[in-house]
Structure 1
Amino acid sequence: MKEFTVFCQSLKDIIDSHPQLDIEGARKIVQQINEFLYTTHPDIGTIEKFGSKFDYFSDFHKFWHKYHKEILNCEIDEYICEKVADALHSIFIQTNGKAFTSIYDTCGLSDEDVCRVRFLTANQDFRGSRSFSFLADVFECDNAIFDENNILADPEDFLKKIDVGALSQNDKRLKYATNIAQFLLTHKCTPYELLEKYNRDIYALRNDLIACNAGYGNKKADMFVRDMVVLGIWQNVTGFERINVASDVNTIKIALRTGIIRTAIPLVSSFLDIFCYQYEYIDEMNAAAWRRVWEIWTKKYPQESISSPCLMDYFVYNVVGRQFCKESLVFFACPNGHVFKWHSSRNTTCQVCYKQGIRRVPASIVRKCMPCEDEEGFIAIQNTEYVRALPSGQKLTECPFTAICNDKKHLRPPKSISIMGQTGWQSAYANKGEGGGGLMA
């Protein structure tokens, strides 16, 4: 707390010497804030990350590293976890469990080929990604592109052919492509055969994927092994129950808004979360909270539950997070005085006039809200991709968490700035007294 105390005292001294705050006092305060948050100095100390030592970015960084958990004080709410577990159980019953087993179309590829394509590309899903259908088409046209020996020999060509070579952080992509190819060659097997190499222990395989520095963090590794199990490509596995919900901004968003996790203060901006301590902490607590939801669910309804927390991921992330929990109910008005609600902001027509046979009457957006904030939210829910595809007897009319979120509906998940790279913290250092520093997008 020393650094923070010194900073606060410096501000107090300035304010005491400028009781009627003038431009000179304001100037000194701005300088102190900037120096505390964003400048380093020779005796600031170091921190270890990714096996390397970095100078602390600033005195605030030093403070934040030590106290971020105490400041945020993130907790799991057992009572809310049970309410969420009950809601998910209801969805399980309503959809005969299918809400938790949907992944994606495998485009007619064999199990071995699906495993190969996904294994060699899932680690490239950042700052832009390619759909499985696109990658499957690339594989069908030339499967040699996905040969690990070819990738190791020319990783840049591999990235180019799967159309990620022009995306950001190419240096990381090259390393990840090289390392994942080497991982296969070291094990002397195909991706499909990896499970046997690990005696069908999917959790052990997952951990080694994370450790090989090939772009498989917790989220990507969890999603990959989940997909292989749900698609039936890997069967009779052990350790599947140890795989968590793949933590991302959508599952964190829903965790915050339902209240299964709560923090003492709203999450801070990524501009304050130097070296991503908040993001890592909330990510960890998010996974633990969804696991607690699963534990309660399986204990209360052992015959009507799922076999692993990670199976909640698709429904929570893709359905609730991406389709339900956003401002998708749109209010329109037209020159003839009609006001109506619609499910798409791309609409340009007055739907009331159109139904009355009056054509080409324009409509403009008045405002938007989330479906759970309006009694006619079903207009948006029933037109989501997920609900449209459901059988008639299973269609939802509201988000299953509508009655749970209450006053937390607008909480937002954390964002993070990479440590490495051209737009990362490493390139943003500034020395005290020199000015400048920061990022240029």
Structure 2
Amino acid sequence: MSTMRHAGQQRPQGPPGVGDTVTTGQGRVPDGDFGPGDEPESTPAPVRVVVIGAGKVAHAAHLREIRDLPQLIRPVAVIDPDPGHRAALMAGFPRVAVCTTAEESVWAGATAALVLSPWWTHKDAVLGCLDAGLPVLCEKPVSLDPAEIDELIAAEVRTGVPVTAGYMKRHDPIVQLFIDHCREHAADARRITVDIHDPNAPHLVDHLVPYPPPPFGPQPPPAEAALVRALGADATATQREVYARGLGGSLIHQVNIVHAALDGTGRRLHGNLEHSMQWAGGSAVSCRWRPDDDLVVEASHLRLPAHRRYRETLEFTGTDSVATLTLPSPYARDEGATLQIDTWDADGTSTRRTHRAAAARIGFREQLRAWTRSVSWIPNPGPRPAPRPGIWPLPGLREVREDALAVREAALRLG
């Protein structure tokens, strides 16, 4: 066991993909989008991973990034009960072993794990990886049940093997700039808003998946059972549905960003919910928190299948600044995030700065850069670069717990 853990030992590294800077728009963002042959000479061998769950999110996001990052990460094993899912993965990557347990994948050469299976399977999958000594990157939501999250935290402490939460938006350099601005102006914060228009429609991802994806429909029985455990037997069907999708499936990402922005201020969302409401049969949800007398946080998610484009806007309003972050569909590669910051000085002079992401600097890719470097073993690595706000440490289970408590409270307050 000690040998396996050494192979996947977590060791802090520098900010993901950060090299020289280039000016885009009026701002400056890190430029480090290395091609397959352009990684620094000190980069270790690719991290060998077991992919647990080869479904829609694996093919639409993670695997297509992995194909472009062979110098950083390589699948060596797959665990998925569906033979079609396994075959689709194996068609794109050579010499991948089919396994049934995390321990088997270690024998196949895995030193880390990507857990991309449905959320209600995450607890057992992550526990198996920790017991096998495999550091984990687990898709969000890691769990929607605080009791399960506590069990995972205990296992992480017991084994000494780290779990990273798949909050890929946190790794987008423009999102990091937004978080930096929020932290720098936290004392003057008055309002943070989140507004998402989400088609959640086939045209967004079907072309990225090599087999017909499952249709949007009711939660499968195992998911319903997990939701009952998470919310309690008295929760209504609408509360469970909204918790699984609008709140836990989507807004939990933005709740995590807000928590990161408020880190160190003593402000938190859980316990400070003013209202939560759903409409349109549960396809729309809105929440409002008041962390203290000076700050209000509002978040809304609308599922709108007829819309052709995904739209996400986060806005920070302070006494002397407004920072507006817009994000495209998380599956888009040809669009990037934009951050516009307006500030005013004492004599009323205004300044506007605009930051735009470089090509392909998307969250999924930057997340893989950060995570693989965190679990790589590099002899004689030299001094560690200074941390940057919004990046260190990688999102972990304690953040997962805080986020889940906030959205669970909102689900239980729904009328």
Please state which band the TM-score falls in when normalised by the shorter chain.
Answer: under 0.3
Structure number having the greater helix percentage: 1
Structure number with the higher strand fraction is: 2
Query: TM-score, with normalisation over the residues of structure 2?
Result: 0.25
Could you state the TM-score of these two structures normalised by the residue count of structure 1? 0.24
Rg larger in 1 or in 2? 1
